Amino acid sequence: MRNPDQWSSLFWLLAGLGITLGSLKYGFGTLQAPGAGFITFFAGMLLSLLAVVFFFSSLKRDEKLHKGVEILWEGPEAHKVIFVLILLVAYTLILKHLGFLISTFGLLCLLFRVKATYHLMKVILMSLLITSGAYLLFQVWLKVQLPRGILEGII
Amino acid sequence: MDIFDHIFFGFGVAFQPVNLLFCFTGVLIGTLVGVLPGLGPVAAISLLLPATFHAPPVASIIMLSGIYYGAMYGGSTTSILVNIPGEAASVVTCFDGYQMARRGRAGPALGMAAFASFIAGTLGVIGLAFLAPPLAAIALKFGPPEYFSLMVLGLTVLTFLAGGSMLKSLMMASIGVIIGNVGLDLITAQPRFTFGLSILLDGVGLVPLVMGLFGISEVLLNVEQRLSEREVFKTVLKGLLPTLRDWKESIGPLLRGSILGFFLGILPGGGAVISSFVSYGLEKRLSKHPEEFGKGAIAGVAGPESANNSATAGAFIPLLTLGLPSNAVMAILLGALMIYGMPPGPKLISSHPQLFWGVISSMYIGNIMLLILNLPLIGLWVKILKIPYPILFPLILLFCLIGAYSLNNNPAEIGLMLFFGLLGYLMKKFKYDGAPLVLAMVLGPLMDQSLRQSLLMSGGSGMIFFTRPICLVIFVVIGLILLLSVLPLIGRMRKTMDEMKEV
Average of per-residue pLDDT across A53-62 = 80
Q: What is the pLDDT of residue A99?
A: 94
Q: What is the pLDDT of residue B231?
A: 56
- Domain extent listing, chain B: 3-143+218-227+239-411
Residue B196 in contact with partner chain A when CB distance is under 8 A: no
Q: Do B418 and A126 touch (CB under 8 A)?
A: no
Name A24's Cβ contacts closer than 8 Å, sequence gap at least 6. Answer: A37, A41
Helices (H), chain A: 4-26, 38-58, 62-65, 79-98, 100-111, 120-134
Q: Do B448 and A38 touch (CB under 8 A)?
A: yes
Q: What is the pLDDT of residue B268?
A: 66
Q: Do A39 and B444 touch (CB under 8 A)?
A: yes
Q: What is the pLDDT of residue A152?
A: 80
Calculate what percentage of chain B has a pLDDT beyond 90. Answer: 18
From B241's Cα to the closest Cα of chain A, the distance in A is: 38
Average of per-residue pLDDT across A45-69 = 79
Q: With a cut of 60, say whether residue B462 has pLDDT above it.
A: yes
Q: What is the pLDDT of residue B488?
A: 66
Closest CA in chain A for residue B431:
A5
Q: What is the pLDDT of residue B501?
A: 53
Q: What is the pLDDT of residue A83?
A: 94
pLDDT tens digits, residue range B106-149?
888 888 988 898 898 888 888 888 888 888 888 777 889 998 88
Q: What is the pLDDT of residue B87?
A: 67
Residues in chain B: 503
Nearest to B177 among A8, A43, A104 (CB): A43
Report whether B320 contacts B132 (CB < 8 A): yes
Give residue A90's pLDDT band: very low, low, confident or very high (50, 70, 90).
Answer: very high
Give A104's contacts in chain B (Cβ within 8 Å): 398, 401
From B166's Cα to the closest Cα of chain A, the distance in A is: 10
Give residue B269's pLDDT band: very low, low, confident or very high (50, 70, 90).
Answer: low
From B427's Cα to the closest Cα of chain A, the distance in A is: 9
Average of per-residue pLDDT across B397-411 = 86
Q: With a cut of 60, say whether residue B329 has pLDDT above it.
A: yes
Average of per-residue pLDDT across B236-245 = 76
From B492's Cα to the closest Cα of chain A, the distance in A is: 7
Least confident of A30-34, B44-48, B288-292: B44-48
Which B residues 44-83 touch A at CB under 8 Å?
50-51, 54
Q: How far apart are CA A80 and CA A1, in angstroms?
A: 27
Report whether B334 contacts B325 (CB < 8 A): yes
Q: With a cut of 60, say whether residue B257 has pLDDT above it.
A: yes
Give A77's contacts in chain B (Cβ within 8 Å): 223-226
pLDDT tens digits, residue range A109-140?
999 988 888 899 999 999 999 999 999 988 88
* Residue B186: alpha-carbon gap to chain centroid: 29
Q: How far apart are CA B458 and CA A31, in angstroms?
A: 10
Q: With a cut of 70, say whether residue B330 has pLDDT above it.
A: yes
Give B227's contacts in chain A (Cβ within 8 Å): 115
Q: How far apart are CA B345 and CA B347, in angstroms?
A: 5
Nearest to B447 among A23, A39, A115 (CB): A39
Q: What is the pLDDT of residue B489?
A: 61
HSE-CB at B146 with a 13 A cutoff on CA atoms is 11
Q: Do A38 and B451 touch (CB under 8 A)?
A: yes
Give A30's contacts in chain B (Cβ within 8 Å): 460
Complex ipTM value? 0.93
- Domain extent listing, chain A: 4-73, 79-151
Give A68's contacts in chain B (Cβ within 8 Å): none
Q: Do A26 and B405 touch (CB under 8 A)?
A: no
